Amino acid sequence: MDWFGRARISFTHAAEPVSLTKKDGTRTNLLEVCKKATPPCQLNPLLFNGHLQTMWTAVKEEGPRIYYRRRIFDADHKTYTGSFAVDFVVDQHPDTDETLPPRTAYFSEDAFSKIGSDDDKPMLIVLHGLSGGSYEIYLRHAIAPLVLNGGGWEACVVNARGCANSEVTSGVLFNARATWDVRQVVKWAKQTFPNRPLFALGFSLGGNILTNYVGEEGEHCLLKGAISVGNPFDLELSNKALQRSLIGHHVYQRVMGGNMKRLISLHKEAVLKHTELDFDRIQNVTYLYEFDREVQTVSWGYPTENAYYRDASSSDAVLAIRIPFLAIAAEDDPIAVREALPYGEFQHNPYTVLCTTSLGGHLSWFEIGGGRWHARPITNFLQAMVKEIDLSAVKPPPSSLNGTASGVEVKTKFDPVRRKLQILSD
């Protein structure tokens, strides 16, 4: 039982977590780093369940004042065309742009041309949640200790297409498996800042995208570590859980569906120009799953929204991760529900650790005084990886961790990215 907002903390992990070498030559492992980075979880006792924690996010607070400069990237993929916006954390500036979120202005061409550096500052690449952006308060709480007051980090936020006042310039919108933009940014960052250790942080839908990305990259991932927070993991299961609950169906599904519908409305001209979507039908939807039926199935060719959810889910991708990976989740999260957490997959992969708290809601974790608990394990884990761990010694395994099954006549191998069991020829 949780008393006065004191949440229980649990860790799910492999029997032998991946070994890590410290800079002083001693040995530790991923689980010990995660445990050491995770402080006690003392939340506001008045927000004593996941619904109260989640709904308290509607109470507006200013949050940490993070300043950004925006750069529009043209997609470098021949299929996933168009553009997307990346907001880079910068020093405080007086510039204002009414077309952008608060404290955000565009880079000048000259300033951006000089952004490259051979410094070895750690850099964090961040993905926000559904319909959000770099301005989100939960995101700013998490990165503020790293980038403000001598935190020592550089950071940028990859905004989903059309989000955070960015334009839609092609028929390629974002979805829960849209890993192409973050992949391009990671490659760009590695080329532009060759000596910087790169890390990534994803929230909610962004956490799902990040997990898919890291799984797709496998042993070739350019990141030194990643954190996923409030990830729904199994989108079909999470969707069904929301629909069978009165508050889940008529509050959360309705709010999320309304947010996405308004996002499409903001880009009506571009949607009509670049896509085959039925704008009027989209404006008649109420719930998120209805939006996905009208937008995601049409945009990507899925026969049903459930087919989209199954394909875009990141639960299986956990098996393919080959870099230190921490997931943080609240067991009372009413949106990224507990039953969708892939406990078995985390137990199977020594490169991953799942940290769960008994309280916290969805991307909430409100403490007394307005702080957000999730910022502390995020900051502690990332700082520990950079300051204590010899990142050059973290190597992927020589062979797959997925395992194979054998029988009299056939051998099989499960591909966690394609989510299919392959029959291997002799």
Q: Is residue 409 part of a domain?
A: no
Say which CATH number the domain at 100 has. Answer: 3.40.50.1820
Dihedral Cα 370, 373, 379, 381, nearest 10 deg: 180
Domain boundary among 271, 286, 310: 310
> Same domain, yes or no, for 273 and 205?
no
* Residue 333 annotated as catalytic: yes
pTM of the entire structure?
0.95
* Residue 267 annotated as catalytic: no
Domain boundary among 270, 287, 310: 310
- pLDDT for 44: 96
Domain boundary among 283, 310, 337: 310
The parent domain of residue 295 ranges over 254-310
The first and second tokens of residue 410, run together, are: 């056939």
> Same domain, yes or no, for 209 and 193?
yes
Q: Is residue 363 part of a domain?
A: yes
Specify whether the CB–CB gap between 250 and 281 falls below 8 A: no
258 secondary structure, DSSP code: H
Q: Is residue 289 part of a domain?
A: yes
Q: Is residue 399 part of a domain?
A: no
Q: What are the pLDDT digits (tens) for 131-141? A: 999 999 999 99
Q: Is residue 98 part of a domain?
A: yes
> Same domain, yes or no, for 83 and 119?
yes
* Residue 204 annotated as catalytic: yes
> Same domain, yes or no, for 287 and 154?
no
> Same domain, yes or no, for 263 and 343?
no
Number of structural domains in the chain: 2
- pLDDT for 370: 86
Catalytic residue among 13, 362, 364, 374, which? 362
Q: Is residue 272 part of a domain?
A: yes
> Same domain, yes or no, for 53 and 125?
yes
Residue listed under structure tokens 């002083």? 24
> Same domain, yes or no, for 230 and 206?
yes
> Same domain, yes or no, for 94 and 139?
yes
- By C-alpha distance, which of 169, 182, 163 is closest to 222? 182
Give the residue ranges of the chain where pLDDT is below 70.
1, 397-413, 420-426
Q: How far separated are the first and last CA of the chain, in Å rounded?
A: 54
Catalytic residue among 141, 333, 348, 374, which? 333
> Same domain, yes or no, for 284 and 148?
no
- pLDDT for 402: 55
> Same domain, yes or no, for 357 and 217?
yes
> Same domain, yes or no, for 216 and 190?
yes
Separation of alpha carbons 41 and 25, rounded Å = 31
- pLDDT for 371: 93
Q: What are the pLDDT digits (tens) for 390-406? A: 999 887 766 555 544 44
Separation of alpha carbons 52 and 141, rounded Å = 19
DSSP 93-124: -----TTS-TTEEEPPHHHHHT--------EE
- pLDDT for 422: 61
Separation of alpha carbons 358 and 248, rounded Å = 19
> Same domain, yes or no, for 334 and 299?
no
Q: Is residue 404 part of a domain?
A: no
Catalytic residue among 131, 204, 314, 315, which? 204
